[in-house]
Amino acid sequence: MVSQPTCIAHLHCPPLIPALAAEVLISATNQSMDSWDQSPAATVLEQQLVNWLCQKFGYPAIADGVFTSGGTQSNFMGLLLARDRFCQTYLNWSAQKQGLPPEAPRFRILCSEVSHFTIRQAAALLGLGEQAVVPVKTDAAFRLCPTQLAQTLEHLKQENLIPIALVATVGTTDFGSIDPLPEMATIAQTHNLWLHVDAAYGGALVLSDRHRSKLAGIEAADSITVDFHKLFYQPISCGAFLLKDRVHFDLIKLHADYLNPESNQAAGIPDLVTKSVQTTRRFDALKLWISLQNLGQQGFATMIDTTIDLAIETARLIAANRRFELANPPMINAVVFRYCPTPLLPTMNDPIAWSNQVNRQIRTTLMQRGQAVLAQTQIGDRVYLKFTLLNPRTTLDDISNVLNWIQQLGQALE
Ligand SMILES: *Cc1c(COP(=O)(O)O)cnc(C)c1O
């Protein structure tokens, strides 16, 4: 038997064989979620899961949602609705019918400087341009700083620009940091901003009794992105977009006679296509449903809790070793750090470039030797290494081994 390599990287991992079985069923039955007559049972099941999720996130009964291909699509939908709601409410303008209003070049979307690049991508796709996205500085723990946010809003007003939306990230891709949701919700409310929460990575904490409190305030968001192919361990692709007030789906509603005629709506026949930017769409909800049936919420919580505990232990090991520098106290299960080469020769003219080179070389060598695949990121002008500890089977011994290899390689390179 071939021994299984230990994966400490961004592994979308293993214990969910039933989800793989569901994947086969999804392909084999080939149901599309676009109309009731093609997929009545699938429609009901997806809707039930959406209702359950809305409840988990503390949303009211008027909430609704839809499954998506992942965080990219969910973030796009959040900003699409934010844009169209602003146009409708404050400019009496239908973006769906009339396209962009004359004020559109002045629209602004605020988010932290470490938010996901798909926020910029969505702004570009929405005709606002990347220029519409205004990054706000973060604190030492990579969380958006509310004081900076207030100042940025003040500047935008002085420049006669129009803030329309605020994006909070729950689980930034690099650091797993969680923006201060209650403070951001208050600011969003004061300034009439649509609050979208990108919880693609951290949304799964909602399943954990030990870590759910880190999401306090998320229920104030107008919309939420959740990814199931990350910390919910589902096969790609599987995500959702949740909306606090379902009335906002009307902003993008379309009717096609062949698919979802208006007479259907009058007759109370549900269809999911009016809530989606996709038409033909896979029954990805089945994977999540089958996994939940098998593992239960508790099973998920145990996996999530295990990986967070491991991240805390890993951070402790790193912080205790003076050859390493820890970049962040982990909020979820991402640990960013770097190897610090020994005190440098006074003749060395660029110590940052040198330590960047050593860290890059460590990573490449571990990969070439087939020992470990580490992620890499950058903070300012410095290169860092990164563990994203999604796999609940990874042990502290595995991590300890990798840290030893890193240290040995670092010393050899010096
Ligand atoms: C992964 C991720 C996304 C993008 O999601 P996809 O599922 O890859 O489309 C967006 N935001 C955050 C914070 C993410 O971690």
Residue 173 Cα: closest atom of ligand 1? 15
Give the contacts of 29 (CB within 8 A, at least 6 positions apart): 283
| Selected residue with higher pLDDT from 263 and 174 | 174
Residue 75 Cα: closest atom of ligand 1? 10
Residue ranges per domain, the chain?
A: 7-11+296-413, 32-282
Work out the pLDDT band at 276, boundaries 50, 70, 90. Answer: very high
- pLDDT at res. 11: 42
Residue 345 pLDDT greater than 80, yes or no:
no
163 lines ligand 1 (CB under 6 A): no
Q: If you take atom 10 of ligand 1, which residue's CA is the nearest one?
A: 71
176 lines ligand 1 (CB under 6 A): no
Residue 387 pLDDT greater than 80, yes or no:
yes
Give the contacts of 176 (CB within 8 A, at least 6 positions apart): 201, 202, 311, 328, 330, 331, 332, 333, 334
* DSSP label of 164: E
| Selected residue with higher pLDDT from 98 and 269 | 98
214 lines ligand 1 (CB under 6 A): no
Work out the pLDDT band at 351, boundaries 50, 70, 90. Answer: confident
* pTM of the entire predicted model: 0.94
Q: Is the CATH code 3.30.70.360 the one for domain 7-11+296-413?
A: no
CA 123 to chain centroid, in Å, comes to: 17
112 lines ligand 1 (CB under 6 A): no
State the distance from the centre of ligand 1 to the C-alpha of 151, rounded, in angstroms.
28
Give the contacts of 30 (CB within 8 A, at least 6 positions apart): none
284 lines ligand 1 (CB under 6 A): no
* The pair of three-digit structure tokens given for residue 12, joined into one six-digit string: 């979308």
State the distance from the centre of ligand 1 to the C-alpha of 414, rounded, in angstroms.
37
Residue 172 Cα: closest atom of ligand 1? 13
Q: Are the CB atoms for 366 and 327 separated by under 8 Å? A: no
Tell me the mean pLDDT in the region 77-86.
Answer: 98
What's the chain's average pLDDT? 93
- pLDDT at res. 278: 94
227 lines ligand 1 (CB under 6 A): yes
Q: How does pLDDT run across 120-156, given as a tens digit for each residue? A: 999 999 999 999 999 999 999 999 999 999 999 999 9
Q: If you take atom 5 of ligand 1, which residue's CA is the nearest one?
A: 71
Is the backbone of residue 292 left (phi > 0), alpha (psi -120 to 50) or beta?
alpha
Q: Are the CB atoms for 111 and 166 separated by under 8 Å? A: yes
Residue 230 Cα: closest atom of ligand 1? 1
* DSSP label of 242: E
Q: Which of 145, 5, 170, 7 lies closest to 78 in space, CA to CA? A: 170
Point out the least confidently predicted range of 30-39, 159-168, 239-248, 322-331.
30-39
| % of the chain surpassing 90 pLDDT | 80
- pLDDT at res. 414: 83
Q: If you take atom 12 of ligand 1, which residue's CA is the nearest one?
A: 200
Q: Coil, strand, or helix at residue 42?
A: helix
220 lines ligand 1 (CB under 6 A): no
Q: How does pLDDT run across 222-257, given as a tens digit for each residue? A: 999 999 999 999 999 999 999 999 999 999 998 877
* The pair of three-digit structure tokens given for residue 385, joined into one six-digit string: 């290494």
169 lines ligand 1 (CB under 6 A): yes
Q: Are the CB atoms for 114 and 177 separated by under 8 Å? A: yes
State the distance from the centre of ligand 1 to the C-alpha of 258, rounded, in angstroms.
34
CATH number for the segment(s) 32-282: 3.40.640.10
34 lines ligand 1 (CB under 6 A): no
Q: Hey, which of 68, 72, 229 would you mutate to test ligand 1's pocket, going by the most ligand atoms within 8 Å of its Cβ?
A: 72
177 lines ligand 1 (CB under 6 A): no
Work out the pLDDT band at 2, boundaries 50, 70, 90. Answer: very low
Q: If you take atom 14 of ligand 1, which residue's CA is the nearest one?
A: 200
User: What does 74-96 look like in DSSP terms, one character per residue?
Assistant: HHHHHHHHHHHHHHHHHH---HH
Strands 162-169 and 375-379: unpaired
SS (HEC) of 119-133: HHHHHHHCCCCHHHE
State the distance from the centre of ligand 1 to the C-alpha of 381, rounded, in angstroms.
24
78 lines ligand 1 (CB under 6 A): no
Q: If you take atom 6 of ligand 1, which residue's CA is the nearest one?
A: 71
* DSSP label of 3: P
Q: Hey, which of 196, 205, 227 would you mutate to test ligand 1's pocket, going by the most ligand atoms within 8 Å of its Cβ?
A: 227
State the distance from the centre of ligand 1 to the C-alpha of 311, rounded, in angstroms.
20
